[in-house]
Structure 1
Amino acid sequence: MAISWFKPVPARVAAEQLRFMLGTAPFAFIVGGIGNAAMAVIFALNAPVLPLAIWAVCAFLPVPFLRLLANRFRDSPDPVAEAGRYQRYTILLATAIGVLRGILPWIAFDQASPLAVALLLCFMAGIQAGSLTFMAPVLPAFVGYSVVFIAMLSLKLVTLGDPMYWGMAIGSILFCTAIIASARSAAQTFQNMVELRFENNELVERLRQETAIAQAARLEAETANQAKSKFLAAASHDLRQPIHAQGLFLEVLARGQLTAQQREILDNARAASSASGDMLNTLLDFSRLEAGVVTVSKRCFELQPLLNRIGTELAPSADEKGIVYRQRDTDVMVESDPALVELILRNLISNAIRYTERGGVLIGCRRRSDQVHVEVWDSGIGIAADNQQEIFREFHQLGNPERDRRKGLGLGLAITERLARAANHELRLRSVVGRGSKFALILPLAAGQSGMQADPEPSASANDHTTLGTPCRILVIDDDEAVREGMLRLLKTWGARCEAVEGIEQARLCLGHLTPDLVICDYRLREQRTGAEAIAILREQIPGLPAILITGDTAPERLREAEASGIPLLHKPVLPAALFAKIRSTLPPGAKRAHG
């Protein structure tokens, strides 16, 4: 810690003060030395020449000492720690310079005229003022220099014995006092400026560190999120394979002759398989949203059939919990994507049932001008105001710290909100803790709906037909043996002639004895090859060969690749009804090919 007129100065500030003074002082003293030489020439007319010449030469002596001091300080291994010591050296050197300049009046004044003395005083006042500009930051050095110089000057003026010179001495002392006060103010300003620069540097450094920490945290979060996505995608794919095969075998089994007890056991097994599929499809919905491959196909349709389907599916769950499931019938038609609307409402209603323990759930529609508010009311636990945004984050659940799988994965409302956003529909929430919640999906009313007919609902039920209705040959490509076996058995029950292979090369060999009407291919094959690649190779031999891709992948990049192929796509686990409908829609009418 250095000292500046009884006020401590931080060492790093003192170091900056010294750098400034020692950096500018040598040049200033060279200029001052030239002025001193000029004054010596003027006074040499009336004063001894030799002493004046010696003094003029000595006036340049501080320059090498100042340079030496500046270089030593600059090269110091720790200038901040050495600032106090070098400040003391600087004070001693400045005091010595004051003594040197104070000698001039003792040499020149004895034989000088009052005019010459006044001229010298003006010159020295100018030097004193000039010294302030570079010496003031190190205030003790400037004070030492000024006090010694003015003291020697005033003392000489007093010894001249003329009252006029006494007045000059008093004026010199007053001038010294004023200039020291100015120097103190300048020193404080310089100190404030240096401290402000340090503070700014610290703020910049702190900001840089915080930015680096934030970037590191962001990268860590992105890496963790990517790792999570990859893990979920890999886990989802590996789980989908056996569940997909299980569904195929259960469908084959259901088409056989079973006793009542066997049928009941089979129904339970199918229900368990369906529940597993639902959870995996929830992950799939989320992954498709993440991948940006959700397409919106809007058309006019009636809400009531859609609500009836959801009620048929979910009302039994409400009955099992002992709560009331009520639905108000409606005749409104809306314009939207029915598949997305059904998924949104199913998520909202199933979520309402899941978190309602007494009372019930009510589904109704309200017309508001050119809009329809589809509302889902429940008397459940309610949602606190500060949680009403959080529930739309993925993997976020209220009231499920134990992660009970029966309460889902915490993705339902996240998917719902993103689906609504994808379809450009508003989703509103009102809730009171302990009293329940109301979710409202805002849909556009179909324009002029009074005279409109709803677009027909597509049928995808496997129960509509027991066979595909036309002889066809199907080639199945899948690297999972259980899936191949399940597909073979199920397709044969539908009347198809089929073969199943595990890779592209085996599929090419099959073309030697089988000309397929349709290829059903898994998207991910062995050796990093894809179903799209396999189909492209087969189409080189059979142009326009109809094909269906089936994938268990949920990784966003995989979903985008599969969607970009332009080949009809199904996701494992595939419901037999959906597979049946996709095969029928993909096969050309009356498809029948001769053996190759």
Structure 2
Amino acid sequence: MSIEDRFQIERLTLVLRHLRHAFGMSVMVASLMVAVFYFASGSVVSAVSALSGERIGIRTSAVSTTALLVWFFALLAVSGAQSWGARRALKKGFGAADVAPIRRQLVLSRCLEGTLWGALIWIGIDQHTSPGATALLMGLLASSNADSVAKYSNILGLYTGIMLPMTVLAVARFITIDDLYYQMMAGFSVLFVIAQYMQARTLGASINEAIRLRFENLDLVERLKTETREASAAREAAEQADEDKSRFLAAASHDLRQPVQALNLLLETLSWSEMDERQRRTLDSARAASASSSEMLNTLLDFSRLEAGVIEPQPRPFSLQRLLHKLEMELAPLADEKGLLYRTRDTEATVVSDPALLELILRNLVANAIRYTDRGGVLVACRRRGAGYLIEVYDTGIGIAPDQHRAIFREFHQLGNPERDRRKGLGLGLATAERLTTAMNHSLTLRSAPGRGSVFRLRVAGAERQATSSIRASAAPSSLPNLGQRRVLVIDDDETIRHAMRMLLTGWGCECRTAASLEEALDQDAAAPELILCDYRLRDGHNGAEAIASLRGRFGADIPALLVTGDTAPSRLREASASGIPLLHKPVAALALHQALMATLDGTSERG
């Protein structure tokens, strides 16, 4: 229902509430007037003779008792009908379509009531009427006028319906009486009614405005409630979608990491075999494809670790040049493949940051620049700004429109990749970079225009210059050291990974045994392992931390251990990190796995 409809219903309801109680007052007032005119009819009042100055008696006019009784019952009938109709309408209820007919009926009945009150003046008043009766009648009519102003002014037709005929009849009667007093009373009556009418208009407008404002406020409150409910539902839907997205990514990432982990291990084992040039090229292509898959999965992992809050920056002063050189050694080949020029401007800056996290930020920025540049090149530079430094990554790529400058930092948002080409990444690099920047209290800004390239500027704190050793590219070892018959227990519920891990560890000289679950590991009749390599998610709701604790209790020794997980769910990452056992993330590169095994067996591994 519209505000206007509710407004019309409410103002009529207000009038009907007054009318339903009007009958009792009409009975009392009409009875009083009948009694006054009846007892004043033909009575003698004292006066002073204008000729002799003596007090004389004057008989007042006689009033027809029949006329008084007819008037009395007619007034009660009209007033009673009004009160009954008002009660009936309020009890039955009415809609917007009923307002106009009810108002017309009320105006008509008010006109009849006003006519009856005017008729009383013709019945009871002439120039010989008792002055007291005349004064009482006029006082009651004035009071009735004031009462109508207060109760019925919000529907002005009801006020004028009773006052207009009553005033017209009263003025007509006073004018016809050959007495200056009554003729002056006629004029004052007109002025009084005009003044009351103006007051009724003002009061009625205020009442109607208050009613309308009330419904507008109620409507506004209702709209706000509706919008709040819709916003709450949208927020809950968005939160649910975000949770669903996180669960899906975690499940998909875990399931994808299992075969990729096995593939990496098997390819590493295969690389030890004798093969011709064609087979070696095929193996290199397979390892490159596997590395690409691992890179995308690790990008998801970085983002999940940020969501989980398990990344704790550990800032320290370090020389930036070593990091920039490392990035150039790793990423320049990607630029060379696209025919781009990759340049790093040498710097002597010493910055305060977490080296590993800063490397991840810059790696994402530089890789992103190479990915979206087809001609020209990429420049990485650093310059002093106040007490800190600006690390800048320039490219001559496609550029970014101003309305996309914020959007590109949203997860999975990519420019110019509608086909979702996996070679262009997942759209998480810049989102990860921005979150890491915030976590380390750095600032990351962008300046770019379509077709004119981009420059990302990372502001970091500076420190006093430190002496640095000469920078040399460290070549990967041609072979990995033998682990010397160390007993390693591998627990993983994936058979392919168990097989690949057994082959790899055996090739490194380990004595390896495997188990699919904690129960299977406990049932094995074998000597205590020297190292436990356990997947975090196991069967029957167990986890790797629980399995390692159980095995340590079984053998009564604090056996060195490593956790391996393909989970990227934030809650799982927090649980695994809280266990205090070194954690590796699938897919684990063979070199990284070997280094972790060596460090753990030598007692030099770090927590995390």
User: TM-score, normalising length from structure 1?
Assistant: 0.89
Structure 1 counterpart of 2:529? 516
Deviation of 1:39 after TM superposition, in Å, equals 5.1
Q: Distance in 2 between matches of 1:513 and 1:482?
A: 23
Among candidates 3, 20, 23, match of residue 17 of structure 2: 23
Q: Distance in 1 between matches of 2:135 and 2:389?
A: 100
SS in 2 for 1:93: helix
- Checking the alignment, whether the CA contact within 8 Å between 1:461 and 1:581 is kept in structure 2 is no
Q: Which runs of 5+ in 2 are unaligned?
A: 42-62
- The alpha-carbon distance between structure 1 residues 460 and 344, as it changes in their structure 2 partners (threshold 3 A), is farther
- The alpha-carbon distance between structure 1 residues 124 and 77, as it changes in their structure 2 partners (threshold 3 A), is closer
Structure 2 counterpart of 1:467? 482
Q: Distance in 2 between matches of 1:264 and 1:14?
A: 87
Counterpart amino acid of residue 507 in structure 2:
T
Pairing 1:97–2:113 present:
yes
Structure 1 counterpart of 2:430? 413
Structure 1 counterpart of 2:99? 83
SS in 1 for 2:40: coil
Counterpart amino acid of residue 541 in structure 2:
Q
Pairing 1:533–2:546 present:
yes
Structure 2 counterpart of 1:198? 215
SS in 2 for 1:331: coil
Q: Distance in 2 between matches of 1:369 and 1:438?
A: 20
* Structure whose alpha-carbon radius of gyration is higher: 2
User: TM-score, normalising length from structure 2?
Assistant: 0.87
- The alpha-carbon distance between structure 1 residues 89 and 460, as it changes in their structure 2 partners (threshold 3 A), is farther
- Checking the alignment, whether the CA contact within 8 Å between 1:396 and 1:411 is kept in structure 2 is yes
> Structure 1 stretch 412-421 or stretch 517-526: which is displaced more?
517-526
Matches within 5 A, 1:447-526: 448-450=464-466, 465-468=480-483, 470-510=484-524, 512-526=525-539
Cα offsets for 1:42-67 (capped at 9, x unmatched) = 55541369676886787666665444
Among candidates 236, 239, 246, match of residue 219 of structure 1: 236
Structure 2 counterpart of 1:354? 371
Structure 2 counterpart of 1:583? 597
Matches within 5 A, 1:280-319: 280-319=297-336
SS in 2 for 1:449: coil
Structure 2 counterpart of 1:320? 337
Cα offsets for 1:66-89 (capped at 9, x unmatched) = 443233222335422211222122
> Structure 1 stretch 521-530 or stretch 94-103: which is displaced more?
94-103
- Checking the alignment, whether the CA contact within 8 Å between 2:401 and 2:449 is kept in structure 1 is yes
Cα offsets for 1:474-517 (capped at 9, x unmatched) = 1111111111111111111222212111112101112x323112
> Structure 1 stretch 11-20 or stretch 53-62: which is displaced more?
53-62
Matches within 5 A, 1:156-195: 156-195=173-212
- The alpha-carbon distance between structure 1 residues 69 and 462, as it changes in their structure 2 partners (threshold 3 A), is farther
Structure 1 counterpart of 2:577? 563
Q: Distance in 2 between matches of 1:411 and 1:193?
A: 57
Structure 1 counterpart of 2:275? 258
Structure 1 counterpart of 2:443? 426
Deviation of 1:410 after TM superposition, in Å, equals 1.2
Structure 1 counterpart of 2:394? 377
- The alpha-carbon distance between structure 1 residues 249 and 553, as it changes in their structure 2 partners (threshold 3 A), is same
User: Number of paired residues?
Assistant: 577
Q: Distance in 2 between matches of 1:239 and 1:462?
A: 29
Structure 2 counterpart of 1:436? 453
Deviation of 1:21 after TM superposition, in Å, equals 0.8
Amino-acid identity (%): 47
> Structure 1 stretch 298-307 or stretch 341-350: which is displaced more?
298-307
Counterpart amino acid of residue 137 in structure 1:
N
Deviation of 1:583 after TM superposition, in Å, equals 1.7
Deviation of 1:561 after TM superposition, in Å, equals 1.9
Q: Let me know the Cα RMSD of the aligned residues.
A: 2.9
- The alpha-carbon distance between structure 1 residues 61 and 539, as it changes in their structure 2 partners (threshold 3 A), is farther
Q: Distance in 2 between matches of 1:343 and 1:493?
A: 32
Cα offsets for 1:138-160 (capped at 9, x unmatched) = 22222111112222322332343
Counterpart amino acid of residue 521 in structure 1:
C
Counterpart amino acid of residue 486 in structure 1:
A
> Structure 1 stretch 220-229 or stretch 404-413: which is displaced more?
220-229
Q: Which runs of 5+ in 1 are unaligned?
A: 1-8, 592-596
Matches within 5 A, 1:22-41: 22-27=16-21, 30-31=24-25, 33-35=27-29, 37-38=31-32, 41=35
